[in-house]
Amino acid sequence: MHGLCNFREDLQTQLEKQQGSSTTAETRAFSPFQEGGNTDNEGGSSTDNNEIQNTASTTPDTTGIPQWPTPVEFQFPIMPLEPWGCFESSYPSSLFPSFPSLDNLQDLLHVPLEPDLLITPMMHNDLDQLYFDRAYAFAPILQTHSYRSWSKQPNKSNQKTCLQYAMWTLASSLSSQFQVDGRKLYAKTRQLLYTLESEEPCHQISLEQAQAWTLLAIYELTCQDFHRGMMSAGRAFRLIQMMRLYELDLPQTPTMQMRQYQGKLTLQESVQDNWIEIETKRRTFWLAYTLDRFTSMVDGLHMFFDERLIRTRLPAPEANFASGRPTDMDYLADVIPGDDDQEWPHKNLSSFIESVIGATICGRVLEHKQKPPTRPCQEFCHRHRSLNALLAKRIRILRINASLEYPDPIITFVTLAAHIAVFMLYDLIESRPLGTDAQGTQLTQALYTEHKQQSLDAVADIAPLIAVLGQHFQMHPLTPILLLLGARFSQSHPGLNDAYIKLMPSIVTTLQASTGLNKLAQNFLQLLEPQNDNWCALA
């Protein structure tokens, strides 16, 4: 046993000497002084060689002793160990700091689908104000107080969220500040509307959904693609039809009137809220109605809403709608005179009602144009002359309001629409002879002579109207439709009068000035482009 202990001590001593000599050799081999070389002896120092030789000669004999394998070094990064309590503060809890932490699942649920679209409180207020300052003039379907009561609620319904984003989308198109955000808002609005239809059970329809599609259709017509806008408008029209908004004010039975009277006595505040809700529905219908009429004029399409079936009163004045004061309005048939009484009632009508009347007259002219010829032709002539007389008296009333120093841009739009309707009647007489017999030829010639002078008067009135349109930023977004129809009429009558030749360049100039914020103007300008140079040269 004593010999075994001595052998262990000798073996340990020999190993320590071997490790010491190996360390000395490595230190000398990798010394910075040796790496730089000895300037006195480039071939190397004899002293160093002797030391190496002496070291090797004094190494003890290790025969029979098992050799340890040479350690292999890997260049792994060394992370200093810290106490467990320091890990949370010293290192990120996730290996990928750019990704949300998995420690809290709620963080994942709130990751926005579109990180670039962030509605800040300031942007929220700006878009709201932009809608009521500029878009409300031609789309007055929301009461300010009612909207602001829920606009900033975090838990509002999906329908209201769709409507809000549609409002913001349309408002963004009316300001150069939000052009980039407007495209993101548009994509988000369509996504919300499609999601609403896919998730809503039994396809329940809401007023906010119909309003959102109507506003989105106006945006698409003016900022995206005309045909896509027409498809969205058709969806809005169908929703409005399914909610039967065209007959909100059907005549009530005495029992229904008594219940309504008792309700007014007991719940005055709820009656006021109920009136605002009904008035909002009325305005939504009438906006869709005007959109249906004016867009159908582009290609002569059949209109969606039938005027003869409307049982909804006209929209109330803005003061009543804003304050929530109920008032009874007339029906459309009470405002537009019939064949027996061609005198217009002398009432101070709002610009919204004026646009409804203008759309109605244009719709009647379009419907008159779409009806097949009848035999005998007296019915056609009677209907044609009635529309002509209705337009002539209406234009005289509108001419007074449009000639003011600061005319309402909506009134200017309606006045322009009345003159375009005159062109449509004149075009119809030219394209549809009333017969080959003597009576038919005589009637055709008489109507042609009447409308020729009226069309010249319309051209004389349109020129200053177009000049006024260029001065208004709040131009009606559907104005390019009327300008296109006027340009088509000028193109089809190049030799009729010099006034038509002079009208075309002014239309082109106005369309060019509107291309920045209205793609409808840009698209229509491309349709007229092949003949623009010729008309400008003639002018």
Minimal CA–CA distance to 151: which of 185, 187, 119?
119
Task: Please give the model's pTM, rounded to 2 decimal places.
Answer: 0.75
94-108, 178-192, 444-458: which is most confident = 178-192
Judge whether residue 454 has pLDDT over 90: no
Nearest-10 Cα torsion for 116, 119, 125, 130: 40
**DSSP state letter for 494:** T
* pLDDT-based confidence at residue 403 (cuts at 50, 70, 90): low
Judge whether residue 373 has pLDDT over 50: yes
Judge whether residue 22 has pLDDT over 70: no
Judge whether residue 73 has pLDDT over 50: no
d(CA 532, CA 480): 16
Give tens-digit pLDDT for 263-307. 444 444 456 679 999 999 999 999 999 999 999 999 999 999 999
Give tens-digit pLDDT for 123-169. 999 999 999 999 999 999 999 999 999 999 999 999 999 999 999 99
* pLDDT-based confidence at residue 120 (cuts at 50, 70, 90): very high
Share of the chain above pLDDT 90, in %: 42
What is the number of residues in the chain?
Answer: 539
Are 193 and 216 in contact, with CB atoms under 8 Å apart? yes
Instruction: For CA atoms 355, 357, 363, 366, give the dihedral sign.
Output: negative
Q: What is the pLDDT of residue 259?
A: 54
Ranges 139-148, 188-197, 396-405: which has the least confidence: 396-405
Are 279 and 321 in contact, with CB atoms under 8 Å apart? yes
Q: Is 209 helix (H, G, I), strand (E, B) or coil?
A: helix
* pLDDT-based confidence at residue 31 (cuts at 50, 70, 90): very low
Judge whether residue 233 has pLDDT over 70: yes
DSSP 285-319: HHHHHHHHHHHHHHHTPPPSS-GGG---PPPPPHH
* pLDDT-based confidence at residue 533 (cuts at 50, 70, 90): low
d(CA 281, CA 276): 9
Ranges 15-19, 183-187, 448-452: which has the least confidence: 15-19
Are 255 and 324 in contact, with CB atoms under 8 Å apart? no
Whether omega for the bond prior to residue 376 falls within 30 degrees of 0, making it cis, is yes
d(CA 291, CA 486): 19
Phi then psi for 227, rounded to 5 degrees?
A: -70, -35
Q: What is the pLDDT of residue 215?
A: 98
Ranges 64-73, 254-263, 523-532: which has the least confidence: 64-73
